[in-house]
Amino acid sequence: MDEDKVSFGFEDVSRDEKTRRVKGVFASVASRYDLMNDLMSAGVHRVWKANMIAWLNPQPGEVLIDVAGGTGDIARAFMRKADEVAARRKSDAQTMAFVSDINEAMLVAGIRKTDKNMPRVACDAAALPFPDRSADAVTISFGIRNVVEIDRALKEFRRVLKPGGRFACLEFSHMTHRVLQEAYDRYSFSVIPAMGELVTGDRASYQYLVESIRRFPNQDDFAAKVTAAGFGQVNYVNYSGGVAALHTGWAV
């Protein structure tokens, strides 16, 4: 691939073109985004996300930056767990969860009247408007594939974390067995775009989704990128045979 190009599904496009197209994809599906996630994974994505929150072990008074956080489900789960701990400890420490996303439509679609201490920030993952060492945790859930400058974004995540801060990235990945991968590919390419057309009226966005999963680095290669960004104790756990993987690291 040309060094000046990046992948957008099976296409190679300019960085500016990918930014424009990704914004268009999520502007189109924002209102049905959570519903489609439930349908595509039969609700299993909620279990994967719960596992990520359990690994993060939110504590009262901590600051989370949830990148590509769109509808706010990760931020809410983080806040809920931290509040449960605060209630047990009778702590009044104020937890904060910033929801950042490059797509304003996703941020707006995710607003709930019950949200507290969850500011929305429209920004690029590779240029976060947060000070150095300002967050206890950084998360990104099913969003890193859509980032134009992945290596730069990972370095940004490391920059904004306090020493000892936690990084967690949940992403669709590669199956651990060739036969399973072939079956999953058949499902992905035949069912998901058709489902997207039926539910959201947008087949092309979900065609991009399945293509972008196939172009994303495998688990070991992505873990190497996380290490290269300056994280320590880098690890990953496969879910559902590698349909998704949770990548973790610590700011050391």
Domains of the chain: 5-251 (3.40.50.150)
Between residues 201 and 129, which one has the greater pLDDT?
129
153-206 pLDDT, tens per residue? 999 999 999 999 999 999 999 999 989 899 989 988 988 889 888 888 888 888
30-88 pLDDT per residue, tens: 767 777 777 777 789 999 999 999 999 999 999 999 999 988 999 999 999 999 999 99
- Give the Cα separation of 133 and 231 in Å (integer): 14
Q: What is the pLDDT of residue 117?
A: 96
pLDDT digits (tens, 9 = 90+) for 100-119: 999 898 899 889 989 999 99
Average pLDDT, rounded, for the chain: 92
Q: Which long-range contacts (CB under 8 A, 24 or more apart) does 226-230 make?
A: 226/154, 226/167, 226/169, 228/151, 228/154, 229/151, 229/154, 229/155, 229/157, 229/158, 230/155, 230/158
